[in-house]
Amino acid sequence: MNDNDTWQPLSLAAMRLLVKLDEKQNENAERDHRSGRGDEESARTNREQVNQGLKQIAAFERRASGIDHRPTRKRN
């Protein structure tokens, strides 16, 4: 078997990907902070995302509990 095999463990590849994503996120945060729109805009975006997620969870819970159940008629 060749010691210089190009295959890497999946965990190593995942770790490298996460490090790259973290670096990119930090660069974007620094750029937003320098432009003065980082705090207010990201806080507003985060609020919108949280509110949307809460609406989706509430809708799922209504469907799961049967509250939102609408009976359908069978067609002949």
- Is residue 50 in some structural domain? yes
**Domain total in the chain:** 1
3-state secondary structure 24-50: HHHHHHHHHHHHCCHHHHHHHHHHHHH
Tell me, what's the pLDDT at 76?
Answer: 63
Mean pLDDT, range 45-52, rounded to an integer: 89
- Is residue 47 in some structural domain? yes
Instruction: Name the average pLDDT for the chain.
Output: 77
- Is residue 46 in some structural domain? yes
- Is residue 39 in some structural domain? yes
- Is residue 56 in some structural domain? yes
Give the C-alpha separation, 56 to 23, whole Å: 31
- Is residue 21 in some structural domain? no
Model confidence over 8-30: pLDDT tens digits?
A: 677 778 888 889 988 888 887 77
Range of the domain at 45: 30-63
Statement: residue 3 has pLDDT above 60: no
